[in-house]
């Protein structure tokens, strides 16, 4: 997951290949709670790993539930009808799928509980659910603004003599919460049927349908009269299914369906395969497929897969009641940017009480891109930008809302070939932590991947600077010197002196160099060699093999392969002059010889390696002379490089200087 202040996405042309989606958030948190309310053990497979599921798992642990997580599998030892911890303070972040159902379940079970979240959660209404639970005899107090979390829950005196009324026109999660909690009351001896009556029109019905199907999997068959009356039979009791699998998230599929629909056709196999969900999904958001087809997408489906490609172009404008796909409908607003006229999405009042006011947020951000947007209490109308001239590069605010970030990324497919900046990309962790990595793995850029080069002499601090800049930007990092050090090490292991006489054999090794970079560690042929290649001897070997033309040619393609989405920061001695001559920013880092020798001396001493500073200075001078006078790619600044003398600068100051130069080249 990108943990950066912002993420710049270069202009994208198309998507190809296949993508495997994470598990559904809606199903994951429902299943976790149901498993906790059973007696016995439930094994949940393909569980979504996200912020929302993590807060639910933490809450279940705090209540005394047995929880073991191994990758995407969770083993839940249920609580039955009584939490083992009758008192707890639960922090539920911004997870409505945890706050609302846990409020209802704990209010029916009783205890001494406080439920809190982040500030935005304390702005999301829960009063209609609390009113319904109070009418049932539950004890719930507001700890802040009436009608909103945080809440305190006490012991109930449950009464089931009257139907329980709950509003359905604010959030379907209120009804879902009651449906999940009230089987606990119906299972008590002597109790009658539990009846829930929905007041007003029920929105987001497909999410209630998910709840009903999962209740059936856990042994509770709810009788439904239309969408206004639900009956939980007396004696209903949760029974563990033993093992249960979580479908891939249909809402998450919408972003890739959209990407396939706006992807430029290319040579070879066309389209994108989405694995993990098909049109027979129990999730209502799978009906996004119908909406995408109405806009012109070509979509085939099979058991747990979808195949998507561009059909009509531009996309066809739509006017659609989106009550049946409230979350996925946000993706239609992004697709509307590529339509042949204004598109109107109706019956989306629930957007206003989600992670943010999504109608207002979407209108604001789409306007930044050049669209004309009209918004109402329960609709949004999007008129796309005029062809290529109306599009604008934009920095999109995400409002700590995962869906705003993922929808915003689709703007990178614009025909004007403009980049888009996503602020706070980490917010996708709520449902799809690896969203951007997944997108970049299948996307093809329409412009060269941006590369930032940092060149300089030995011990100038270029590696430290480049790695820090890459981290701040969320870009890949290439330590080209490591490749030469690895080649030198491979030559030594093959008993080849790094001399011109062995050039052909060393070049052959370099062409098939089995190297892997993981975080700040380096492997060669499956063996970690991080410390080995950082030795002074390895540095000398690197300098010698880098002077061999055939070795440099062999490593050229390998270095080019590091230029992957969303971008690359490369450090070395000739990144800007030879390897990436068209990089939009080249920095040549310098420091006086005494300063560099002092830095290297401190570095070696910190590792417990004895060193003489005068010898180090002499070695650096010799290496500089050799690197700057070699016939192939001598060490020198690129003509358009910016010089940075960091002799008197801290690492942070140097990073800020380079990022300032980089920002000056961006269109945002």
Give kind and range of the element (H or E) at residue 546: none
HEC states along 461-479? CHHHHHHHHHHHHCCEEEE
Please say if the pLDDT value at position 481 is more than 90.
no
Measured between alpha carbons, how far is 272 from 305 in angstroms, rounded to an integer? 10
Q: What average pLDDT does the segment 84-95 reach?
A: 95
* Contact present, 392 and 386 (Cβ < 8 Å): no
Output the pLDDT for position 601. 63
Q: What superfamily in CATH does domain 6-22+247-445 come from? A: Enolpyruvate transferase domain (3.65.10.10)
Q: What percent of the chain has pLDDT over 90?
A: 80
6-22+247-445 shares its CATH topology with 25-245: yes
456 labeled part of a ligand binding site: yes
Q: What percent of the chain has pLDDT over 70?
A: 94
Nearest one of 374, 434, 442 to 405, comparing CA atoms: 434
Residue with tokens 């300098």: 543
Output the pLDDT for position 384. 98
639 labeled part of a ligand binding site: no
Output the pLDDT for position 614. 67
446 labeled part of a ligand binding site: no
Output the pLDDT for position 604. 66
DSSP one-letter string for 592-603:
-HHHHHHHHHHH
Output the pLDDT for position 266. 73
Please say if the pLDDT value at position 132 is more than 80.
yes
Measured between alpha carbons, how far is 383 from 386 in angstroms, rounded to an integer? 9
Please determine, looking at this structure, whether the domain spanning 25-245 carries the CATH number 3.65.10.10. yes
Rg (CA), the chain: 29
Q: What are the residues facing 166 on neighbouring strands?
A: 198
526-565: pLDDT as tens digits: 999 998 998 878 988 988 998 899 998 999 988 999 999 9
* Contact present, 409 and 9 (Cβ < 8 Å): yes
354 labeled part of a ligand binding site: yes
Output the pLDDT for position 244. 96
462 labeled part of a ligand binding site: yes
Give kind and range of the element (H or E) at residue 181: helix 172-181
Measured between alpha carbons, how far is 393 from 391 in angstroms, rounded to an integer? 7
| Residue 608 pLDDT class (50, 70, 90 cuts) | low
Q: What average pLDDT does the segment 265-293 reach?
A: 89
Q: What average pLDDT does the segment 360-381 reach?
A: 98
Decide: helix, strand or coil at residue 461.
coil
Q: Which of 8, 49, 128, 327 is catalytic?
A: 327
Fold topology of 480-565: Rossmann fold (3.40.50)
β-pairing verdict for 229-232 and 194-199: antiparallel
* Contact present, 429 and 51 (Cβ < 8 Å): yes
358 labeled part of a ligand binding site: yes
The strand order across the sheet containing 87-91 reads: 87-91, 112-116, 151-153, 140-142
403 labeled part of a ligand binding site: yes
Interacting residues of 634 by C-beta distance below 8 A, sequence separation 6+: 627, 628
Q: Assess whether 645 carries a catalytic annotation.
A: no
Output the pLDDT for position 303. 85
* Contact present, 583 and 591 (Cβ < 8 Å): no
Q: Own/partner pairs for 552-561, CB < 8 Å, 24+ apart?
A: 552/578, 552/632, 552/633, 553/507, 554/507, 554/508, 554/510, 554/511, 555/480, 555/483, 555/484, 555/487, 555/510, 555/513, 558/483, 558/510, 558/513, 558/515, 559/478, 559/480, 559/483
461 labeled part of a ligand binding site: yes
Measured CA to CA in angstroms, residue 653 lies from 13, 110, 248, 468, 477 at distances of 36, 55, 45, 11, 20
Residue with tokens 């030995």: 458
26 labeled part of a ligand binding site: yes
51 labeled part of a ligand binding site: no
Please say if the pLDDT value at position 518 is more than 80.
no
Q: For all residues of the chain together, what is the average pLDDT?
A: 92
Output the pLDDT for position 46. 94
Map out the domains of the chain as residue ranges. 6-22+247-445, 25-245, 480-565
| Residue 83 pLDDT class (50, 70, 90 cuts) | confident
Q: What average pLDDT does the segment 658-667 reach?
A: 97
273 labeled part of a ligand binding site: no
629-649: pLDDT as tens digits: 666 667 789 999 999 999 889
160-191: pLDDT as tens digits: 889 999 999 888 999 999 999 999 998 877 67
Provide the Cα torsion 29, 35, 38, 39; round to 10°.
-150
Q: What average pLDDT does the segment 388-410 reach?
A: 96
124 labeled part of a ligand binding site: yes
546 labeled part of a ligand binding site: no
Measured between alpha carbons, how far is 56 from 64 in angstroms, rounded to an integer? 13
Output the pLDDT for position 555. 93
Measured CA to CA in angstroms, residue 219 lies from 60, 237, 238, 239, 244 at distances of 21, 7, 5, 5, 13
30 labeled part of a ligand binding site: yes
172 labeled part of a ligand binding site: yes
Please say if the pLDDT value at position 111 is more than 90.
yes
487-503: pLDDT as tens digits: 999 999 999 999 999 99
Give kind and range of the element (H or E) at residue 289: helix 288-294
Tokens of 289: 């497929």
Measured between alpha carbons, how far is 528 from 536 in angstroms, rounded to an integer? 18
417 labeled part of a ligand binding site: no
227-272: pLDDT as tens digits: 999 999 999 999 999 999 999 999 999 999 999 999 998 755 578 9
Among 33-37, 89-93, 477-481, 517-521, the range scoring the smallest mean pLDDT is: 517-521
Q: What average pLDDT does the segment 129-157 reach?
A: 97
Output the pLDDT for position 539. 84
* Contact present, 240 and 40 (Cβ < 8 Å): yes
**Residue of 345 and 620 predicted with greater confidence:** 345
Among 129-143, 145-159, 188-202, 651-665, the range scoring the smallest mean pLDDT is: 188-202
């Amino acid at each position: 997951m990108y943990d950066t202040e912002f993420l710049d996405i270069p202009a994208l042309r198309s998507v190809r290949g296949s993508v495997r989606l994470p598990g559904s958030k809606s199903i994951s948190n429902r299943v976790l709670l149901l498993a906790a309310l059973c007696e016995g053990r439930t094994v949940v497979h393909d569980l979504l790993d996200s912020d929302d599921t993590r807060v639910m798992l933490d809450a279940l642990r705090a209540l005394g539930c047995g929880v073991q997580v191994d990758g995407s599998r969770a083993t839940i030892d249920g609580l039955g009808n009584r939490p083992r911890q009758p008192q707890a303070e639960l922090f539920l972040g911004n997870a409505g799928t945890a706050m609302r159902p846990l409020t209802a379940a704990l209010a029916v079970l009783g205890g001494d509980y406080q439920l809190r979240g982040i500030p935005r959660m304390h702005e999301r209404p829960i009063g209609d659910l609390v009113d319904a639970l109070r009418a049932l005899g539950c004890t719930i107090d507001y700890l802040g603004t009436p009608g909103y979390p945080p809440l305190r829950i006490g012991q109930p005196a449950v009464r089931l003599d009257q139907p329980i009324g709950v509003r359905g026109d604010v959030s379907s999660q209120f009804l879902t919460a009651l449906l999940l909690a009230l089987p606990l009351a119906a299972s008590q001896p002597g109790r009658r049927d539990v009846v829930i009556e929905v007041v007003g029109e029920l929105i987001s019905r497909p999410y209630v349908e998910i709840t009903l199907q999962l209740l059936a999997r856990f042994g509770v068959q709810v009788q439904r009269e239309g969408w206004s009356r639900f009956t939980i039979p007396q004696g209903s009791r949760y029974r563990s299914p033993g093992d249960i699998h979580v479908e891939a998230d249909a809402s998450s599929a919408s972003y890739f369906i959209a990407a396939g629909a706006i992807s430029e056709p290319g040579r070879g196999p066309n389209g994108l395969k989405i694995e993990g969900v098909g049109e027979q999904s129990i999730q209502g958001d799978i009906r996004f497929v119908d909406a995408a087809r109405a806009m012109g997408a070509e979509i085939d489906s099979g058991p747990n897969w979808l195949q998507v490609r561009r059909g009509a172009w531009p996309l066809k404008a739509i006017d659609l009641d989106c009550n049946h796909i409230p979350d996925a409908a946000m993706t239609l607003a992004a697709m509307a940017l590529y339509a042949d006229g204004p598109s109107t999405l109706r019956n989306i009042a629930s957007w206003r009480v989600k992670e943010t006011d999504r109608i207002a947020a979407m209108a604001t951000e789409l306007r930044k891109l050049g669209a004309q947007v009209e918004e109402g209490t329960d609709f949004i109308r999007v008129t796309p930008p005029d062809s290529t001239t109306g599009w604008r590069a934009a920095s999109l605010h995400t409002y700590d809302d995962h869906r705003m970030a993922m929808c915003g990324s689709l703007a990178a497919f614009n025909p004007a070939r403009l980049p888009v900046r996503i602020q706070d990309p980490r917010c996708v962790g709520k449902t799809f932590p690896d969203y951007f990595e997944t997108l970049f793995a299948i996307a093809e850029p329409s412009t060269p991947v941006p590369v930032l080069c940092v060149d300089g002499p030995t011990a100038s601090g270029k590696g430290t600077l480049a790695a820090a800049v890459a981290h701040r930007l969320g870009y890949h990092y290439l330590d080209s010197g490591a490749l030469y050090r690895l080649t030198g090490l491979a030559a030594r292991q093959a008993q080849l002196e790094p001399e011109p006489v062995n050039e052909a054999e060393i070049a052959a090794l370099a062409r098939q160099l089995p190297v892997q970079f993981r975080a700040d560690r380096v492997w060669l042929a499956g063996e970690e060699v991080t410390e080995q290649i950082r030795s002074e001897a390895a540095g000398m070997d690197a300098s010698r093999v880098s002077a061999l033309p055939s070795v440099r040619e062999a490593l050229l393609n390998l270095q080019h392969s590091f230029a992957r989405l969303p971008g690359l920061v490369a450090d070395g001695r000739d990144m800007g002059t030879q390897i990436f001559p068209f990089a939009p920013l080249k920095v040549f880092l310098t420091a006086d010889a005494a300063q560099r020798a002092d830095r290297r001396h401190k570095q070696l001493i910190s590792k417990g390696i004895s060193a003489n500073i005068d010898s180090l200075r002499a070695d650096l001078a010799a290496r500089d002379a050799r690197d700057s006078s070699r016939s192939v790619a001598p060490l020198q600044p690129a003509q358009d490089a910016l010089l940075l003398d960091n002799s008197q600068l801290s690492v942070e100051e140097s990073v800020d200087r380079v990022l300032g130069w980089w920002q000056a080249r961006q269109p945002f």
